Amino acid sequence: MELIGAARVHELLAYDGLIEALRQAHLGGMPTMSDRHIYQQPHPDGRPDILILLPAWQANDGILAKVVTSFPRNRELHERPTVNSLYIFMNGETGAPEAIFDGEAVIFRKTSADSALGCSLLARKDARTLLMVGAGGLAPYLVRAHCSVRHIERVLVWNRTHAAGERLAAALSAEGYPAESVADLDAALGEADIVSSATMAESPIIKGRLLKPGAHLDLVGSFTPQMRESDDDVLQRASIFVDHEQTTKRSGDFLDPYARGVITPADVKGDLFALCQGTVAGRRAEDEITMMKNGGGSHIDYFVSRYLVERLRKAKVGAPREMIAV
């Protein structure tokens, strides 16, 4: 069994190969068994500690167990990351563990590639301005992934704490991306051809009335029923897509509007399986606003982990046997 550290994971999951692997995986179906379990431990400050378990099992092919924790006070109390995770991939015929992957590296790569796949299918081909809403650990990966599928000439970065947005823009600029920090989110929404939002917002910050005609919106936050990034105008103006139908059952971006009758499940035009297989149309007009909700899910974790194992087997070498920090 190999212990695969972060550097090796990033090396193996370069976006060109990873996004194409996800596209090919969506030409098939879901793993035979996949699920998601979220447990929360309440805290007096209103920020619960969270444990997420995501298993996926494809008979005779592979078994994945993903474990994620989110402890929001880690940085201030322990100087540790808020989110910690690991992936365990097991042989589908024997059940024996084959590899343990650094979870943070896989999450950053697979989440950003999931969004980029949606972007490649829905955003205008001539999209040039990308707005990144949020400056957390995932944000630079979302920028890199989107830039790998569209010729982006301008990257705008907005964050609630402006200093964090400035730091991210500076870091991206140092990598060669045309990035700049912006203070006015509303104004930036009106300029962006692509908007990628990855925040912990519990009330809408993306205003649909401000989106420019032809924009594509990638929503990554709102992974619990209590969280929401987009307002009702987004849902009423945009053609709505999701990475998988399960996403609509656990995100506040859908559950709240469903409950109030703003939209219904019938308003969701399709998922990545349908888009990749061509059973639903993506963008229909240049001025159409498209939205994809990236909800992740254990099937994406499985597809990416399976691809990682295949890359390792083809290389016929294991990653450095370094311990994974958890």
Over the stretch 280-326, which tens digit does the pLDDT of each residue have? 999 999 999 999 999 988 889 999 999 999 999 888 654 444 433 33
Report the distance separating Cα 189 and Cα 211, nearest Å.
6
pTM of the model: 0.90
pLDDT for the residue 207: 98
On whether both 253 and 178 belong to a single domain, the answer is yes
* pLDDT at 223 (0 to 100): 84
Whether 184 and 303 share a structural domain: no
Question: Is 320 inside a domain boundary?
Answer: no
321 in any annotated domain: no
Identify whether residues 117 and 203 lie together within a single domain.
yes
32 and 129 in a single domain? The answer is no
User: Are 91 and 6 within one domain?
Assistant: yes
Please give the Cα distance from 30 to 61 (Å, whole number): 13
Contacting residues for 132 by C-beta, under 8 A, at least 6 apart = 139, 142, 143, 155, 156, 157, 158, 168, 196, 198
pLDDT (mean) for 237-259: 92
Q: Please, are residues 64 and 89 in contact by the beta-carbon 8 Å criterion? A: yes
User: Whole-angstrom Cα distance, residue 10 to residue 217?
Assistant: 26
Nearest-angstrom CA–CA distance, 223 and 252: 7
Alpha-carbon torsion angle 104, 106, 108, 113, nearest 10: -170
Residues whose CB falls within 8 Å of the CB of residue 93, separated by 6 or more in sequence, listed in order: 60
- Residue 29 is part of a domain; what is its CATH number? 3.30.1780.10
**pLDDT band at residue 245 using 50, 70 and 90 as cut-offs:** confident
Mark whether 235 and 275 lie in a shared domain.
Answer: yes
Residue 95 lies in a domain: yes
**CATH no. for residue 292?**
3.40.50.720
**Average pLDDT over every residue of 53-59:** 90
Same domain, 98 and 206: no
Residue 65 to residue 56: CA distance in whole angstroms: 7
**298: nearest Cα among 98, 119, 57, 26:** 57
Structural contact between residues 41 and 322, judged by C-beta atoms closer than 8 angstroms: no
Neighbours of 39 (CB within 10 A): 11
CB count within 10 Å of CB 73 equals 13
Q: Give the chain's domain count.
A: 2
Element (H, E) at 270: strand 268-271
3-state secondary structure (DSSP) of residue 308: helix
Tokens of 232: 């009702």
Same domain, 119 and 257: yes
Q: Is there a domain that residue 324 lies in?
A: no
Which residues 6+ apart lie within 8 Å of 98 measured at CB?
1, 2, 62, 89, 90, 91, 309
pLDDT of 219 > 90? The answer is yes
Domain identity same for 183 and 145: yes
Beta bridge partner(s), residue 222? none
The pLDDT of residue 286: 97
| pLDDT value at 1 more than 90 | no
The per-residue DSSP string of 197-237 comes to: E----SS--B-GGGSPTT-EEEE----STT---B-HHHHHH
Are residues 161 and 92 part of one domain?
no
Do 151 and 291 lie in one domain? The reply is: yes
Residue 323 is assigned to a structural domain of this protein: no
In a domain, 101, yes or no: yes
Q: Which domain holds residue 247?
A: 112-296
Residue 317's pLDDT is: 53
270 contacts: CB under 8 Å, gap ≥ 6: 241, 279, 280
Q: Are residues 254 and 169 in the same domain?
A: yes
The model's confidence at residue 75, banded by pLDDT at 50, 70 and 90, is: confident
Using the Cα atoms of residue 184, residue 185, residue 190 and residue 192 in order, give the sign of their dihedral: positive
Within a domain: 322? no
DSSP 321: B
Tell me if 126 is assigned to some domain.
yes
CA distance 57 to 256: 31
Residue 130 pLDDT more than 90?
yes
d(CA 151, CA 131): 14
